[in-house]
Amino acid sequence: MPIRTTRRDLTKVALSAALAQSATEATARPSRKRARWIPARRFPNGFLWGLATASYQIEGAWNEDGKGPSIWDRLTHTRGKIKNNDTGDVALDHYHRYKEDVQLMKALGAKAYRFSISWPRIFPEGTGAANTKGLDFYSRLVDELLANGIKPFATLYHWDLPEALQDRWGGWEARDTATAFADYAGYIAEKLSDRIRHFFTINEFTTFIELGYGTGLHAPGLKLPPARLNQVRHHTVLAHGLAVQAIRAKARRGTKVGPAEIIAAGVPLIETPDHIAAAERYTREANAAYLTAILEGRYTDGFLSSAGANAPKFTPEDLKVIGSPLDFVGINVYVPKYVRAIEAVPGYELVAFSKSHPRMASSWHVIGPEALYWAPRHLAKLWNVKEIYITENGCGASDQPAADGVVYDSDRIMFLRSYLTQLQRATSEGAPVRGYFLWSSMDNFEWADGFATRFGLIHVDYATLQRKPKLSASFFRAVATLNRVV
């Protein structure tokens, strides 16, 4: 029997076929309107993208133009202390190649540069007469940066203490070193604050004290007993406070100052109110000797009672100095401290990293991107900090150049994207982070690991000192230019 098909039926079939086809197209190729994806991971307007280095790790010229030796010159010249017996004698020869390095940073889209000033370049004996040739180097560097649209941020102490002070007083074991540091800080502020508007006092109290005076791995290579170690800790936070005051007294009006500490950032493994509260409590206590003392002008009860008879000797006046008001707080963020809430006192517990927890090239570098969300959030919430800089974040990687000579550092890009996503999460919720300094612009001398561990966006061939941007340099440039996670 023939099937009767009306015109109407035919129209219906054609229509549904057309609909079916357009539905398939819609899945495969969405309409223009729906396909328009708005990138959500933007940073606030004016967010400052920068790169970070430190004097001993890049400058070289260890005994040129009147520079005195530092405790790192002494340590690296002692055989067996550093991997492969590497030294910073030449390092990246940045002292002579700074103009080329500024151009490289400019090409990476950096708008700010955090470098450190070598104290023994300015005061070869730690105190006394200044070496103007040393000062001239930083003055030229700053001019070069400003001429290329890069804002200078100077750290006054990134671990290269004048050896003269170690020999004369035992370095940070002496209160006099704190006073000498303030004099040096005031001098620099007076001479350079016409062009440097942001100063960091001391970089990573925790690292240079625990490794330099606790385990002996870093300069000056000491293993002090607990009471002396606590006194060293106290002298450095005191030095920070005295330097803040000296800078305020000597610098041009409007010069800003703060510390750059590696914060022990409590990260709640499970983001529920009880674990978050535990992470906050942990963060306050874990930073008690340094950041908490600086931000509260007191040592916590927990710190003093656990130190007992080994607690540092201090006066109420010291605490006022240590707690001197700041313009901003700089934090270096590399690893998380995973925390969970428990019933027993103190209400929190550190959770150990599982064996398979991912790491980057340095043995200490466990990956925990959430640290870059929680660290600024804790600063804002616990201490009401109004201006924050991420003064360091980055990673070491194996960094083998491919046949074409380029390092395709996929792992560094993965690392940075993961961390920056968490930082963006923080700024989008209102954390007052004003800028981010990536560690580091170039591969450099990585302390006890020598040149074996590479942290740069730019690869350095240590035989020729030739610099070549890695793939991650393009990633950074895109982030800095677009002001969002890419």
Which residues sit at the interface with ligand FCB, rule CB under 6 A?
A: 54, 57, 203-204, 207, 262, 332, 392, 439, 446-447, 455
Q: Which of 173, 280, 370, 392 is catalytic?
A: 392
CB atoms within 10 A of CB 199: 26
The dihedrals phi and psi of 278, each to the nearest 5 degrees, come to -65, -40
Clarify whether 392 is annotated catalytic.
yes
Count of residues making up the chain: 486
Give whichever of 304 and 452 is closer to ligand FCB, judged by the CB atom.
Answer: 452
Give whichever of 114 and 425 is closer to ligand FCB, judged by the CB atom.
Answer: 114
Give whichever of 91 and 278 is closer to ligand FCB, judged by the CB atom.
Answer: 91
Q: Which of 204, 280, 370, 446 is catalytic?
A: 204
Give whichever of 205 and 314 is closer to ligand FCB, judged by the CB atom.
Answer: 205
CB of 262 to ligand FCB, least distance (A): 6
**How far is the C-alpha of 220 from the C-alpha of 211, rounded, in Å?**
9
Give whichever of 385 and 395 is closer to ligand FCB, judged by the CB atom.
Answer: 395
CB of 437 to ligand FCB, least distance (A): 11
Q: Which residues of 21-59 are buried (b: 16+ CB within 10 A; e: fewer)?
A: eeeeeeeeeeeeeeeeeeeebebeeebbbbbbbbbbbbb
Q: Which long-range contacts (CB under 8 A, 24 or more apart) does 451-459 make?
A: 451/84, 451/86, 452/83, 452/84, 452/86, 453/361, 453/362, 453/396, 454/361, 454/396, 454/397, 454/398, 454/399, 455/394, 455/395, 455/396, 457/51, 457/108, 457/412, 458/104, 458/108, 459/399, 459/401, 459/407
CB of 253 to ligand FCB, least distance (A): 30
What Rg, from alpha-carbon coordinates, does the chain have?
Answer: 26
CB of 153 to ligand FCB, least distance (A): 14
Give whichever of 276 and 473 is closer to ligand FCB, judged by the CB atom.
Answer: 473
CB of 452 to ligand FCB, least distance (A): 13
**How far is the C-alpha of 485 from the C-alpha of 483, rounded, in Å?**
7
Measured between alpha carbons, how far apart are the two ends of the chain, in Å?
Answer: 65
Give whichever of 118 and 203 is closer to ligand FCB, judged by the CB atom.
Answer: 203
Give whichever of 53 and 193 is closer to ligand FCB, judged by the CB atom.
Answer: 53
Residue nearest to ligand FCB (CB): 204
CB of 53 to ligand FCB, least distance (A): 8
CB of 272 to ligand FCB, least distance (A): 31
Clarify whether 429 is annotated catalytic.
no
Closest C-alpha among 379, 289, 369, 288 to residue 333: 369
CB of 439 to ligand FCB, least distance (A): 5
Give catalytic residues, as residue numbers.
204, 392
